[in-house]
Amino acid sequence: MGVVIESEFWEPNKALYIFLFISSFFSIFYLPSKTAVANVFDHAPPPSFTRFQRSFLLLFSLSSVLEGLWGVFGEFELSYYGLSKDQMLKLLCIGYAASLFVGSFLGMLSDLIGHKKLCLLFYMLHLLVSILKRVIGIPTIWLAGIFLSLASSIFSFSFETWMVVEHEKVVLKLGQRQDSLNDMFWLMTFFESASFIGSQVFGNYLIDGNVNKNITSVWNGAVVLAIVAIIYVTRGWKEGPRIAADFKDYRISFHKHVISDKRVWLLSCSQACIHFSIAAFWILWGPTIVADGREVSLGLIYPCFLGSKMLGSTAFPWLCDGPLALRAEECLLYVFIIMGISLSVVAYDYQEIGVLVTLFCLFQACIGVVLPFLAKLRTMYVPNEVRGGMISLSLMPANAAVLFVLVLRSYDWYIGNSAIIAIAALGLFSAAGCMYILRNWGKQLHRSKHDL
């Protein structure tokens, strides 16, 4: 979480921002000619397809700003309510418990009733949180934490699933190339990271230099964003009838394509491992950097991580269709190993701040590569009618692991930061093992078809 108000004793070199910006620009500018990303930025035909891409990316960016706005001030906002460190930890436990016991099944609900309705629920939850914080105040902070956790669960699957379903309709109607879907995956990761940076800028603009006096203006801003998004979705987007006829048909399809498919199990395990490592990173990166009494400007480091993630997402077209093209499973195998090594170094010992920031930036750059590739594999192995349920249910082990770790921390700090990071690194190596098996299965299937 990005914290804006900190003592500035160490801050990243401004050249790092310039490097990330220029590298992302050149990576996009010199994209392989096979990619279809140009349709998003120019007026090439067909116009209805371009309009769909632009409209969705605008909506997703707005949603990302809304999602990232609540993490800008981090612990400072919670301390504004008068919460102690123990109470903050309990609030995290409550949030992850809600994600575990309720959020894990929202994907199935989305598949059954329609993804547009779940996206509207996402905005409604943010609107409720904003009103609760602005009008009622301190006693409802626990309820607001539950709503935010459920909104984050919806954000993790519903927009992607909605985009894939609507994209397929446009592709079938217009005959557009299917590889344009891969471009949407990395563009979503790119715009999400850029929007999170935008949420930090927006939050600082709203407080106008006086966070104690003007923090309530952030909640007012969230209300406006949520209302605008609700109007935009209600009037500007249409959704066809749901794919699943009823719960019985959905249950049969889910069992056939998810429960009974070993490839989906491996993919789900990888998703759970990466989700746990991301959660551990965002919870612990600040305490890790400021360990041993070191004081740094966390608010200036936060954009470096998101910029690294943006740069990593631009590598996806090069690794997918460009001269560096690799099989998705093979690329993920290598990237998971790099991520595991980077977290292992952090877990082994606290390093000099520059080394820590470099390792964390590398980790985030790898996240930018991993997320589009996982989305691509989901398209390969999971039918659209059960995609939301598969994503949300695969996050259940990760949410359970985070909740377990947080509960341990609530009892006399039973488990340390380095141990949690080491567990995350072990999970990433396990994800690499899953990709290794999945890659070998794919090669065996290819050989069998070739022999026939």
Residue with tokens 């309709």: 169
The pLDDT tens digits for 162-185 are 999 888 877 665 555 556 788 899
The pLDDT tens digits for 244-257 are 457 888 999 999 99
d(CA 123, CA 117): 10
d(CA 153, CA 149): 6
The pLDDT tens digits for 28-47 are 888 765 454 544 444 444 55
pLDDT at site 175: 52
pLDDT at site 217: 83
Contact 125, 147 (CB under 8 A): yes
One fold for 44-242 and 244-452:
yes
Q: How many residues does the chain have?
A: 452
Mean pLDDT over the full length of the chain: 84
d(CA 398, CA 328): 22
Contact 232, 147 (CB under 8 A): no
CB-count exposure of residue 29 (10 Å: 0-12, 13-18, 19+)? exposed
Is CATH 1.20.1250 correct for 44-242?
A: yes
pLDDT at site 211: 66
Question: For residue 213, what are the contacts with CB-CB under 8 A and spacing of at least 6?
Answer: none
pLDDT at site 244: 46
Contact 99, 150 (CB under 8 A): yes
H or E stretch at 105: none
Q: Output the CA angle 272-87-293, nearest 5 degrees.
A: 85
**What are the residue boundaries of the structural domains of the chain, listed by start?**
44-242, 244-452
> DSSP for 195-237?
HHHHHHHHHHHHHTT-HHHHTHHHHHHHHHHHHHHHHHHHHH-
CB-count exposure of residue 379 (10 Å: 0-12, 13-18, 19+)? buried
d(CA 86, CA 412): 10
pLDDT at site 286: 87
pLDDT at site 212: 65
The pLDDT tens digits for 103-161 are 999 999 999 988 889 999 999 999 999 888 877 656 678 888 899 999 999 999 999 99
> DSSP for 267-334?
HHHHHHHHHHHHHHHHHHHHHHHTGGG----HHHHHHHHHHHHHHHHHHHHHHHTSTT---HHHHHHH
Instruction: Kindly tell me the number of DSSP H helices and DSSP E strands found in the chain.
Output: 20, 0
Which regions of the chain are under pLDDT 50?
A: 1-8, 34, 36, 38-45, 243-244, 446, 448-452
d(CA 207, CA 59): 25
Is CATH 1.20.1250.20 correct for 244-452?
A: yes
Contact 182, 357 (CB under 8 A): no
